Amino acid sequence: MILTVKEASRVLGIPPKNVYYLIYMGYIEGWKIANTWRISKLSVETYAQRSILKSA
């Protein structure tokens, strides 16, 4: 499934600008299509799991 930046920000509980940062840094996988970013839901879920494990 593919998410927008807004949807990914809701899933992660962070502002959209932080989602752009995560894409830029390579923490989540995103593609720019027709001037909008699309993000892999699996990539977002994987990032969330890694973040939870690091904080535990």
Task: Return d(Cα 2, Cα 24) in angstroms, integer.
Answer: 17
Task: Return d(Cα 17, Cα 15) in angstroms, integer.
Answer: 5
pLDDT digits (tens, 9 = 90+) for 6-38: 999 999 999 999 999 999 999 999 999 999 999
Task: Return d(Cα 24, Cα 28) in angstroms, integer.
Answer: 8
Q: Can you list the domains of the chain with their CATH numbers?
A: 2-55 (1.10.1660)
pLDDT of residue 56: 62
pLDDT of residue 53: 75
Model pTM score: 0.87
Residue 53 DSSP class: H
pLDDT of residue 52: 80
Contact 1, 11 (CB under 8 A): no
Q: Which helix (H) or strand (E) holds 22?
A: helix 16-25
